[in-house]
Structure 1
Amino acid sequence: MTSTTPTETRHSRADRTRPGRYQVDLDTETWWWSDETYRIHGFEPGEVVPTTEMVLAHKHPDDRDTERHVLDDARRTGEPFSTVHRILDVHSEAHVVSVVGEGRRDERGTTVSIASFVHDLTDSVSRFAAEQADASIRAAASSRRDIEQAKILVRLALEVDDDEAFSVLRRSSNHSNVPLRTLSQHVVREVDSSASPDRPFEASRVLAVLKAPPAATPVG
């Protein structure tokens, strides 16, 4: 019988606390997990083939229905999402994880896949502290959601990829001295205020905010 050394234990914890990633193809229900996501769930990389049923089975029973609704909403809308919940690894040990992701759409606007980042918060947050930290975690996730939504609008307006869209937002934020989240909220609010079923998306509204964002108090 092989014993686990302190070094091996430290390494396994370090691997588990690295951010993981996953992606699911909605047409084929094919899941891809990064090595870190396998380890967060207690598996060695490639040890199992992840499926929707298996992913949901590893959610804590008290959180499973909520997370099923989050996944269903992401499939339906493709909108950015964030959640903090518990999973049970292969050894039935509970982990507190945060997930931030978004859907990817095809040229028809249909959500074809979901990609997310997974963070294991267990080792850095005690049971009591987890409840106290939940508000700040959700606030950070909310900020991320605002930025992701604005990034999508900039990407559409300028016809650029995700990285360039984020660079455009960051440059505008630095140049105007407006916080990135506040700028992102202005972009989303400006587009939402002009949205209607019979009115096309107006790239000029996004560009106007990027050029001269108003200095207003952010929402939320």
Structure 2
Amino acid sequence: MKSLDPRYKMQYVEFTYKKLYGSNFREHSDRVWEKLHDLFSEYVTGLPYKISTISTSDSCKSVNKNNDTMLSKSTREMLQEFTVYETKEFALSQKSQLEMYLDEPRSDITEDINALSFWKAHQYRYPELASMARDILNIPVSTVASESTFSNGGRVLDKFRSSLAHKNVEAIICAKDWLFGISGDEELCLQDLTEDIMELDSKGSDTHEAME
């Protein structure tokens, strides 16, 4: 996810969406921001929310003892309540880790930065956000270059397998990438891999028909 790369952030999302959707890009980029914010909130709520409030005893220490004797009990209680209220409001008005990260200037786009290493180095500054970034960036990603999409599909889909659902074609491509990515001395056969997924697809269809 480019927004979690310090060289790109949300500016790159807006840039690419503007190219894709023209004047309507804001609607789509806002949706990305909302999803990112909602996901981050899940990580934050995973831990109890703590506000550094000032205890009653600490509040009393901030009041001069001479003045303390001159104030009525109700006035002192009101002042203590105000101190706690102000502290809470200040804490709630602070920017979240996500907002702080996105508001900071981007790193130079030409820098050779490993995003995972970046978040490891900043895990104490952005604990919840770093945890979220680590989980997202660790997900294996398979991509197919646009110029080889059809030739790649042709190797997977011949005239006998043209009925494969798109999700199964995606599964074949991803599985091939992941398995070949860690291959050592073993030779992995794409033919066997395709047949295995077709068999699973066939079993799934039979089960669905039986339930109906």
Q: What is the TM-score with the length of structure 1 in the denominator?
A: 0.25
Using CA pairs below 8 Å that are at least 6 residues apart, which structure has the higher relative contact order?
Answer: 2
Q: Give the number of the structure whose residues are more often strand, by fraction.
A: 1
Q: What is the TM-score with the length of structure 2 in the denominator?
A: 0.26
